[in-house]
Amino acid sequence: MNVTPFHQHLEELYQNFLSLKEGNVADYIPELAKVNEDQFGIAIITVDGHVYQVGDSKSEFSIQSISKAFTYGIALEDNDQSFVESKVDVEPSGEAFNSISLEPDSGRPKNPMINAGAIATSSLVKGETGQEKIDRIIDVFGKYTGRKLDIDFDIYESEKNTGHRNRAISHLLRNYDILSGDPEEVLDVYFRQCSIKVTCRDLALMGATLANDGVNPITGIRALDSEQIPNVLGVMASCGMYDYSGNWIYRVGMPAKSGVGGGIVAVLPGQLGLAVFSPRLDDKGNSVRGIAVCEAVSKTFDLHMLHSTRTTTSSTIRRSYDGSSIRSKTVRDISANRVLDKYGKDIRVFDLAGDMQFVSAELVMHEIMAYENLPSHIILNFRHVSSINHAATQQLCDLSTLLTNKGKIVIFIGMPKSFGFTNKLKLLLTDSTNWPMMDFPDLDRALEYCEEQLLENYDWVPLSTSSPVRLEEQPICLDMSNDEIDYLENHLKRKTYDTDQVICCEGELADRMFFVELGQVSVWVNIDSNRKRRLNVIKEASSFGEASLLGTKKRIADIVSDKKSVISWFEPAALFQDTSQISLNIQKKLFKNLASQTFEKLQRSDKEIRSLSK
Amino acid sequence: MNVTPFHQHLEELYQNFLSLKEGNVADYIPELAKVNEDQFGIAIITVDGHVYQVGDSKSEFSIQSISKAFTYGIALEDNDQSFVESKVDVEPSGEAFNSISLEPDSGRPKNPMINAGAIATSSLVKGETGQEKIDRIIDVFGKYTGRKLDIDFDIYESEKNTGHRNRAISHLLRNYDILSGDPEEVLDVYFRQCSIKVTCRDLALMGATLANDGVNPITGIRALDSEQIPNVLGVMASCGMYDYSGNWIYRVGMPAKSGVGGGIVAVLPGQLGLAVFSPRLDDKGNSVRGIAVCEAVSKTFDLHMLHSTRTTTSSTIRRSYDGSSIRSKTVRDISANRVLDKYGKDIRVFDLAGDMQFVSAELVMHEIMAYENLPSHIILNFRHVSSINHAATQQLCDLSTLLTNKGKIVIFIGMPKSFGFTNKLKLLLTDSTNWPMMDFPDLDRALEYCEEQLLENYDWVPLSTSSPVRLEEQPICLDMSNDEIDYLENHLKRKTYDTDQVICCEGELADRMFFVELGQVSVWVNIDSNRKRRLNVIKEASSFGEASLLGTKKRIADIVSDKKSVISWFEPAALFQDTSQISLNIQKKLFKNLASQTFEKLQRSDKEIRSLSK
């Protein structure tokens, strides 16, 4: 694949900030101070899994406080949410990262991003022993990064030997019963968790996973339950950048977390993860280059989450059209077509797209309810919908109830099975008479069903239901004299087919012109060796194989009887050999009628194209 | 219009929380304590301007601290941003709403949502006098609410007479030179601003205006510059709910602001504004029912902004297709059609949709650059794009540069004039050879241009360029004998038209079958009394008016010569009266060729429908 210009922009940013050498590496533990302070890497990974990286994006460093956000996610998964909240609050402390900030009476830490809160959080990870807890943390972090992570034992030993303040905090937490059991064991989990080695690319992928509703966009593996995403990102938004958090949300506008190892990860929900690694820190404990790069990236690429895009009708409803402009692929006789031309507006299709959520579902609701005369048949096509959240599901239930109560037919099609949407709908709708119809395999079948209903409602009487249609009733024989009909009749052969019998096959010579005298046939094409698609349905008083009039080619589809059918045919080549006046007149009329019929189809197709192009 | 079920849900919520009577009305000023404490209203307004309201949504109350967020927006518009920031920081204080929270050395208030910061903010509103400042505030607030607002003078007097703490703060700010001039005058502006009377509906509309990028979704009037939106919402997100802000972003997930008058406004960017009014407050100064309702609404309707939806290829690229499946409406001769069938893949159209921003533009870039053999002609259709932000504009410039440097033809069509997109592109692209082509009025003209280029590239030679095409070269006369051609030739009439001459008009009797012997004509339909749309172009060696062969109807379009053209025609009705063998044979062949030709068009249309339906 070609490299996109965004790489170049990132390279420029990198070069611009390379000379920024303010700040100092963390030295509160000796091992951290040994890091090469010139290192500098930037990585961006989108929710589609596109990776951009420059500089030292593959160097490992210790994750430090960045781990706090991800361990908080594990704690929320492993416990009842209110229990977690009873142990750690979610308010910014307004103080430095190593502040103790406990609630006066309860001893509850202000939030999970300060050390006190993070130690409490680590204790909430599932596991009988410290080893089990840290194994679980490393395992889950590995789902975010798509690779197995290791601990930097030098850092860990250094933290363990010098972490007096954290030791004090954990004993204080034990005193308040925020921690239970041995505080040293939890502290050991916390020190190990902070010593996990990651790269800048790892962090960007961890961010992209949060941006992608908890699913790693490269491996497709879920790292965090969807329902915990707003909780984790919420705490990152209010407390992730120590006492620079207010400025961060104002200037950068992405939930983020930094660590004294020099890393920062920022998340633009639904879009991307951004990570910077540069060990020199400001006096608040944030990477100096990290902050500069994130501010520049947010500004340059308009990534502030509060500078949001609108949910509009045009992105929710791809298009909407009625059953007079787009028809099922069923070939019907002229009188049926007249009825559908006239009353097809009573069928209305809405092609939906994108993510369905509150406002988009509400837009659909409004669009439909805005009809002064509601159509009798309403089809919602979900084929281009990428997700439907709970609120939208509820609204679609409401819509279905509202419309079915008004006596309307509601049809939902094209819901991917993975949504579990059909079941959710049925669960929410306690009264099954309000279920939308959801069993049609595609739009064509749904349209066909609606058309049949319209024809029935408008008292359309088919030419024949029991006795075979006579040749003079076939549109292709329009205006033929009795003699001409008799002549043609003499050239006809006739056969009766049972249900599901093959009449002709793809690849055979197309040398016959067929008439459906009774019954119904379908035209099927092979999509691949396993799948077929129904192209057309041909009803009584219609013909097929007209191409044989225009020269012999190979058939491009299978024709199969849908029910017991009487089919007659003649071979044009034989007819055309006869140059008598009567044959010539028959030929002229066949061609004329074929041209008229094709012309009408072309007009219908052009109408459909105009509807589809809207 | 019909009422949607969402009204019912809101009504249920209202009933559920009606019994919640905890908390007390604010009593720090006597007048506020007089309010009817049972009042309760909820309002939601979407960015499409749909209004939902229940309860006391139309009762007026004083805006109080909610004004701080909106006045901060005015201060940012009226001053250089860095100047505003030098007077007021944007960090949460971690303290109560009436805390003084000034920076130790500078006296800079921690943020514009505490009283100290808000008084400083009011002083930054443009205006020589206090009166001018408050006039401007009332005027701008009125743009948000779509109606003129008034001050509650009882509240104002009460605030003024008892606001000792605020008076102390403003003198302190004057001491630090955060305020200049008379602190009493600024204080008066601040008291008046807090006493402005609003309804719950007003607040929802103010929120919806922020959600809608600063434009009031009902009046269409801009209340705040787009670039200030993330600043105002950023401060609301970190500091809007006093020392409940962390919990708020965690539980509700919408930037918000509350006031001791009992109002809360919350903003879901790009989607809606939500407001609640209920005067009983908790000990942090937030409306008790307000918090309960907002938490319930966010949870029930999945409105947490950090539980975001994804930007995916399927919502950005509506569809993509090549020039062999969808053609311009130009009618070309058979040999040209063959070339385009074969090489049309070298033209590629991308129909884009929704809001173009960093990730969506990047998706387009990737989609195009993923072609192993890049098409020679790339058309980006912006007709369904609702906005293009700066970052996306930059990326589209990069894309254009990249492709034109590779010798590709890049065409952008369908950009609404209001985007100013064309000019922005030209400004960003310093080298005009990298400009995409942007002058085509529609997709059809762009396709036509690309097709002409392909035909030229593949050495297609038109049948004729200077001498008229002979009748036997017309596809509709295929297989005719010399005698038949001569016969038909004898029935022909012929005329030469100059550029832009009308050949026939909509509504005229369609009784002629025409041949383009030289030149080119266009088919135009009237969209309305002022606008026409070009439907087709018909080139040499093609015919028009074939419908006249099938029976006489009225013409449904105007035919106009595009350049000097030689047009011949015959009248089918006259020809058909002749029942001689030769006439019969000619008729048969005309009908057969017409059927073939229409059949081919139908196949092309069906292919187009398949492409469009994807």
User: Is-contact B277 B61, C-beta < 8 A?
Assistant: yes
**Beta strands A377-388 and A409-413, pairing class:** parallel
Nearest to A139 by CA among A152, A125, A124: A125
Cα(A173)–Cα(A45) distance, integer angstroms: 38
Distance between CA atoms of residues B493 and B451, nearest Å: 32
Instruction: Assess whether pLDDT exceeds 90 at residue B347.
Output: yes
User: Could you give the percent of chain B with pLDDT greater than 90?
Assistant: 63
Please tell me whether residue B256 adopts helix, strand or coil conformation. Answer: strand
Task: Give A232-280 pLDDT, tens digit per residue.
Answer: 999 999 999 988 999 999 999 999 999 999 999 999 998 899 999 999 9
- Over the range B343-369, which residues count as b (16 or more CB within 10 Å of their CB) and which as e? bbbbbbbbbbbbbbbbbbbbbbbbebb
- Nearest to residue A53, comparing CAs of A7, A19, A15? A7
CA distances from B359 to A54, B382, B390, B395, B401 (A): 19, 16, 12, 10, 19
* Distance, CA of A258 to CA of A23 (rounded, Å): 15
Percent of the residues in chain A that have a pLDDT greater than 70, as a whole number:
96
Are B587 and A588 a contacting pair at CB < 8 A?
yes
Two tokens, residue A510 = 């197309």
Structure token pair of residue A306 = 């509060």
Cβ of A48 within 8 Å of Cβ of B366? The answer is yes
Pick among B86, B210, B308, B395 to test the A interface (most A CBs inside 10 A): B308
Size of interface A-B (CB pairs under 8 A): 342
- Pairing label, strands A330-331, A532-539: parallel
Q: What is the mean predicted confidence (pLDDT) over B139-154?
A: 97
Query: What DSSP designation does B223 have?
Result: -
Q: Judging by DSSP bridges, how do beta strands B520-526 and B553-554 pair with one another?
A: unpaired
Q: Which pLDDT belongs to residue A20?
A: 95
Catalytic residue list contains A68: yes
Whether B392 has a pLDDT exceeding 70, the answer reads: yes
Bigger pLDDT: A427 vs A64: A64
Distance from CA of A213 to the nearest CA of B (A): 7
B308: confidence class by pLDDT, cuts 50, 70, 90? low
Q: Which of residues 290-309 of B touch A (CB under 8 A)?
A: 300-309
Length of chain A in terms of residues written: 614
Is residue A568 within 8 Å of A493, Cβ to Cβ? Answer: yes
Percent of chain B with pLDDT over 70: 96
Provide the 8-state DSSP code for A374. -
CB B263 within 8 A of CB B207: no
**Is B100 or A80 the better-scoring residue by pLDDT?**
A80
Strands of the sheet containing B493-497, edge to edge, are B493-497, B565-570, B513-518, B542-544
User: Strand locations in B287-398, DSSP E?
Assistant: 317-322, 330-331, 347-356, 377-388
Q: Which one, of B397, B396, B417, B393, lies nearest residue B350 by Cα?
A: B396
Crossing angle, helix B183-194 and helix B115-123, to 10 degrees? 110
| A213: chain B residues, CB-CB within 8 Å | 307, 310
Of A548-562, B45-59, B132-146, B184-198, least confident by mean pLDDT is A548-562
> Considering only alpha carbons, which residue of chain A is nearest residue B400?
A5
In the predicted structure, residue A71 carries a pLDDT above the cut 80 = yes
What value does the mean pLDDT take over residues B409-417? 89
Residue B114: name the closest of A11, A94, A40, A370 by CA: A94
Nearest to B241 by CA among B29, B90, B65: B65
pLDDT for residue A345: 94
The first and second tokens of residue B217, run together, are: 């979704």
B245 close to A (CB below 8 A): yes
Among chain A residues, the shortest Cα distance to B589 is held by: A588
- Among B592, B599, B609, the residue with its CB nearest the CB of A608 is B609
Picking from B595, B569, B566, B578, the residue whose alpha carbon sits closest to that of residue B479 is B595
Backbone angles phi, psi at A119, to 5 degrees: -65, -45
Give pLDDT, residue A1: 41
Q: Does A272 lie at the interface with B, CB-CB under 8 angstroms?
A: yes
**Cα–Cα distance list, B442 to B354, B446, B591 (Å):** 19, 7, 34
Residue A58 has pLDDT above 50, yes or no: yes
Q: B1 falls in which pLDDT band (50, 70, 90)?
A: very low
User: Are A502 and A560 a contacting pair, CB within 8 Å?
Assistant: yes
Integer Cα distance of B390 and B388 in angstroms? 7
CB-CB neighbors (< 8 A) of A238 in chain B: 92, 237-238, 245-246, 249-250
Segment of A259-273, A417-431, B526-540 carrying the highest mean pLDDT: A259-273
Nearest by Cα to B63 from B272, B259, B214, B255: B259
Predicted confidence (pLDDT) at residue B2 exceeds the cutoff of 60: no
**pLDDT attached to residue A97:** 65
Q: For residue B304, give every residue at least 6 positions away whose Cβ sits within 8 Å of its Cβ, in sequence order, or none.
A: A230, A234, B252, B253, B254, B298
d(CA B294, CA A363): 21
Predicted pLDDT of residue B463: 59
Which chain B positions have a beta carbon within 8 Å of A442's beta carbon? none
Q: Are residues A113 and A42 in contact, defined by beta-carbon separation less than 8 angstroms? A: no
Mean pLDDT of the B45-58 span: 93
Tokens describing residue A74:
């594990």
**pLDDT reading at B464 higher than 70:** no
**Tokens 């047009």, residue?**
B567
Mean pLDDT score, B58-81: 97
Token representation of residue A263: 């890393």
Structure tokens at A13: 């940013």
d(C-alpha B28, C-alpha B518), whole Å: 90
Q: Where do the H-state alpha helices sit in B538-580? A: 572-577
Closest approach of chain A CAs to the CA of B466, in angstroms? 32
A564 included as an active-site residue = no
Do the Cβ atoms of B495 and B567 come closer than 8 Å?
yes
Which of A256, A148, A258 lies closest to A194 in space, CA to CA?
A258
B contacts of A231 (beta carbons < 8 Å): 250
Within 8 A of A312 by CB-CB distance, chain B residues are: 47-48, 354, 386
Separation in Å, CA of B3 to nearest CA in chain A: 8
Q: Do B272 and A359 touch (CB under 8 A)?
A: yes
- Which residue in B has a C-alpha nearest to residue A88's C-alpha? B247
What's the whole-number mean pLDDT along residues B514-526?
Answer: 91
ipTM score for this prediction: 0.84
Q: Give the closest-approach CA distance of B405 to chain A in angstroms.
A: 13
CB contacts, 8 Å: B239 with chain A? 246
pLDDT of residue A281: 95
pLDDT averaged over every residue in chain A: 90
- Provide the token pair at A87: 């142990």
| Low-confidence winner among A140-144, A400-404, A419-423, B538-542 (lowest mean pLDDT) | A419-423
* A390-405 vs A358-369: helix crossing angle, rounded to 10: 20
What is the tally of helices (H) and strands (E) in chain B? Answer: 21, 22
Shortest CA gap A88–chain B (Å): 11
d(CA A284, nearest CA chain B) in Å: 13
CA angle (A12, A18, A24) in 5-degree steps: 150
Specify the pLDDT at position A604.
Answer: 86
* Residues 91-130 (B) with a CB less than 8 A from some CB of A: 91-95, 111
| B 33-52 residues with CB < 8 A to A | 46-48, 50
B263 min Cα distance to partner chain A (Å): 22
Computed over every residue of chain B, the mean pLDDT equals 90
Q: Check pLDDT > 70 for residue B593.
A: yes
Q: Which of residues 462-521 of B touch A (CB under 8 A)?
A: none
What does DSSP assign to residue B542?
Answer: E
- A385 a catalytic residue: no
Side-chain half-sphere exposure of B53, counting CA atoms within 13 A: 22
The four Cα atoms A461, A466, A471, A477 give a dihedral, to 10 degrees, of 30
Closest-CA residue of chain A to B215: A310
- Over range B426-438, report the average pLDDT: 87
Percentage of residues in chain A having pLDDT higher than 90: 63
Give A204-213 pLDDT, tens digit per residue. Answer: 999 999 999 9
**Residue A92: which of A262, A247, A273, A277 has the closest Cα?**
A247
CA of A612: which chain B residue's CA is closest? B612
Contact check, Cβ <8 Å, B359/A598: no
Is A100's pLDDT higher than 90? no
Predicted pLDDT at B370: 87
Mutate to test the interface with B, among A359, A533, A610 (most CBs of B within 10 A): A359
Which CA distances in Å does A463 have to A333, A393, A545, A566, B554? 8, 44, 21, 15, 30
Place of tokens 């995916």: B312
Q: Residue B255 has which token pair?
A: 């930037």
Is the Cβ–Cβ distance between A52 and A44 less than 8 Å? yes
Distance (Å, rounded) from C-alpha B206 to C-alpha B202? 6
- Shortest CA distance to A205 belongs to which of A265, A131, A261, A158? A265
Q: Which of residues 345-374 of B touch A (CB under 8 A)?
A: 353-355, 357-359, 362-363, 365-366, 369-370
Collect all residues of chain A within an 8 Å Cβ-Cβ radius of residue B394. 300
CB A319 within 8 A of CB A286: no
Cα torsion for B123, B124, B130, B135, to the nearest 10°? -130
Lowest mean pLDDT among A310-324, A454-468, B223-237: A454-468
Flag if B354 and A309 touch (Cβ within 8 Å): yes
The model's confidence at residue B119, banded by pLDDT at 50, 70 and 90, is very high
With contacts defined as CB-CB under 8 Å, which chain A residues touch B321? none
Strands of the sheet with B347-356, listed across from one edge: B317-322, B347-356, B377-388, B409-413
Taking residues B382-400, report their average pLDDT.
88
3-state secondary structure A438-454: CCCCCHHHHHHHHHHHH
| Contact of B273 with B206, CB cutoff 8 Å | yes
Task: Tell whether pTM > 0.90.
Answer: no
Would you state the structure tokens that stand for residue B238, as one six-digit string? Answer: 């970190």
Residue B170 is predicted with a pLDDT of: 92
The count of C-alpha atoms lying within 13 angstroms of the C-alpha of A328, restricted to the half-sphere facing its C-beta, is 28
Given a cut of 50, whether residue B378 has pLDDT beyond it is yes
**Range name among B269-283, B311-325, B489-503 with the lowest pLDDT average:** B311-325
Domains of chain A: 5-300 (3.40.710.10), 313-457 (3.30.750.24), 471-611 (2.60.120.10)
Residue among A94, A308, A551 minimizing CB distance to B270: A308
pLDDT in tens, A350-408: 999 888 888 888 889 989 988 989 999 999 999 888 888 888 898 899 999 999 999 99
- Minimal-distance CA residue of chain B relative to A208: B310
**Alpha-carbon gap, residue B339 to B457, rounded angstroms:** 10
The residue-averaged pLDDT of B469-480 equals 90
Q: Mean pLDDT, to the nearest integer, of A19-31? A: 89
Q: Which two tokens stand for residue B543?
A: 């015919």
**CA angle, residues A579, A580, A584, in degrees to nearest 5:** 70
